[in-house]
Amino acid sequence: MKLQMVGCSHLTASVEIRQQLAFQPDDLASALEDFRLRFPNTEAVVLSTCNRVEVYTAAEDEGVSPSHEDVVCFLAEFHNMKPEDILGALFEQSGEDAVRHLFYVAASLESMVIGESQILGQVKKAYEQATLLGSTGPLTHGVFQAALKAARLVATHTSIHQRRTSVPAVAIAELSKQIFERLDNKNILLIGAGEMAEETLEYIREEGGTSITVVNRSDSRSEELAQRWQCRPARWDRLLELLVEADLVVSTTSSSEPVVTFENFKQVESRRYQRPLAILDLAVPCDFDPLIGDLLGVYLYNIDDLKTVCQRNREDRQKEWPAAEKIIEAETRSFMADLHHRATAPTIRQLQESCAKLKAEELERLFNKVPNINDPCREEIEYAFDRFINKLLHPPLDSLRKEASDGTPHALLEALKRLFKLKD
């Protein structure tokens, strides 16, 4: 049997190559169908995310399993590329290494941001889609289910997923939650209407924020964003007025000058009566004068402060790495032992069937020679034969089991086949 992975990731290939090799959701069905036509007796799962494109293949018969070059050619042809253009960017893992790699990927230990939670869902989706399209089988079922289990174990027994590492996520889910108990009763002011504003809005909504006002220099963009996210748009000239009412401000403009100067804010401050205000300034350069952060009741975090928190969180995740690695190693060993046991199953079955046949023949001969034996005696003789066969087979089968825990025991299997004249 052969398990293999051929693919590329952010560690091995440039973003351009990854984009070229990525499978769009609509293309996946035709890709798997094409793969099945080329390699009919091979199971396949395609994992395609923005950071990796990996093709997992598995076949009971190593002879029919596609080689590294076969998968490279398949990928190149599907994406109308030359194999030599992508050969250097693709790497291969097989057997235990492929299993370990998938477990690391699913547990987010191979992600660009270690511990990010999306990858587990992406692995699960890739496996489910392949199953739905009929390209999975016993081997891929086993390895993907074990990978999902290993990833869940890592999530449960380590805190590798707990710390957020993107700037908007840290700003909303970590910092604002240390200031406010809940966001559903807070006035949230979002300054700017670009990509960062939209990403931040997603996190604000996730954390329960409802009363959100979007203000932008261009009214049409703020109105468009507000409509998309069901918030209130406001005119730019109302900015200071809105700051008086705000509890949480997220600023994301691309202005080259501060949007709110210290002098501007002093006018606001007297009308706020020192009510706590969290300002998350995600803009580069800063939208809020840093001096504002010194005022009473104001908690001002700019992009550098937030990046520092992100970095600290990444480091905290790194500290969890050894514990996660330990879990993955244990799960890989356990899965491989099961897999090797499965490889010995046909030989064991043949051996047992051969012995059962011998037993039946010998019993028939015996009962023909001694026909007057009553039923209890017959049963007792049959039982004795069974015990004898079990005792005879126990040492070789036990040795086979022990040997299988370290890898497929090819030599032992061959010896058994030759000794007992077993035929495939």
The catalytic residue positions are: 50
Query: Least distance from C-beta 110 to another protein, angstroms?
Result: 24
- Rounded to the nearest 5°, which phi and psi values hold at 182? -145, 155
HSE (side-chain half, CA atoms, 13 Å) at 143: 33
Both tokens of 265, joined, read 């804010």
Q: Which is nearer to another protein, 60 or 325 (CB)?
A: 325
* Residue with smaller CB distance to another protein, 138 or 208: 208
Q: Does 274 bind another protein (CB under 8 A)?
A: yes
Q: What is the DSSP letter of 215?
A: E
Q: Residue 275, interface with another protein (CB under 8 A)?
A: yes
Choice between 238 and 275, CB closer to another protein:
275
Rounded to a whole number of angstroms, the minimum distance from the CB of residue 103 to another protein is: 23
CA distance 318 to 154: 13
CB closer to another protein out of 66 and 168: 168
- Looking at the Cβ atoms of 231 and 310, the one nearer to another protein is 310
Q: With contacts defined by CB under 8 A, name the span among 34-42, 214-222, 269-277, 394-402 that binds another protein.
A: 269-277
Grouping H, G, I as helix, E, B as strand and the rest as coil, residue 285 is coil
Max Cα–Cα distance, the chain, nearest Å: 115
Specify whether the CB–CB gap between 422 and 350 falls below 8 A. yes
Angle (nearest 5°) at CA 45 between 104 and 77: 115
Indicate the SS3 state at residue 52: strand
Q: Give which of 86, 42, 32, 92 is closest to 64, Cα–Cα.
A: 42
Any contact of residue 41 with another protein (CB under 8 A)?
Answer: no
CB of 244 to another protein, least distance (A): 13
The residue from 27, 223, 305, 325 that contacts another protein (CB under 8 A) is: 305
Q: Residues touching another protein: how many (CB under 8 A)?
A: 25
Is 159 a binding residue for another protein by CB under 8 A? The answer is yes
Query: Which of 16, 62, 181, 424 is in the footprint of another protein by CB under 8 A?
Result: 181
Cβ distance to another protein smaller for residue 175 or 400? 175
Min separation Cβ 332 and another protein, Å: 24
CB 175 within 8 A of CB 314: no
User: What single-letter DSSP state applies at residue 54?
Assistant: E
For the window 282-301, what string marks contact with another protein as x by the rule CB under 8 A?
-----------x--xx-x-x
Q: Does 80 bind another protein (CB under 8 A)?
A: no
Using alpha carbons, select from 54, 169, 50, 167 the residue that is nearest to residue 104. Answer: 54
In 3D space, the residue among 99, 96, 77 whose CA is nearest the CA of residue 147 turns out to be: 99
| CB 312 to another protein: min, Å | 5
Query: Is there a contact between 313 and 175 (Cβ–Cβ < 8 Å)?
Result: no
Task: Kindly tell me the burial class for residue 95, based on how many C-beta atoms sit within 10 Å of its own C-beta (0-12, 13-18, 19 or more).
Answer: middle
Q: Does 174 bind another protein (CB under 8 A)?
A: yes
Q: Does residue 240 bind another protein (CB under 8 A)?
A: no
Using the structure block, give the residue that is written with the tokens 């086949």: 417
Residue 321 is a binding residue for another protein (CB under 8 A): no
The only residue of 134, 276, 285, 346 in contact with another protein, by rule CB under 8 A: 276
Query: What is the distance between the alpha carbons of residues 200 and 190, in angstroms, rounded to a whole number?
Result: 9
Q: Interface with another protein by CB under 8 A: which range of 43-51, 133-141, 175-183, 377-385?
A: 175-183
Please report which helix (H) or strand (E) contains residue 43, including its range.
Answer: strand 43-48
Shortest Cβ distance from residue 199 to another protein (Å)?
Answer: 22
Determine the length of the chain.
424
User: Is position 60 an interface residue for another protein (rule: CB under 8 A)?
Assistant: no
Chain contacts with another protein (rule: CB under 8 A):
159, 162-163, 174-175, 177-182, 273-276, 293, 296-297, 299, 301, 305, 308-309, 312, 316
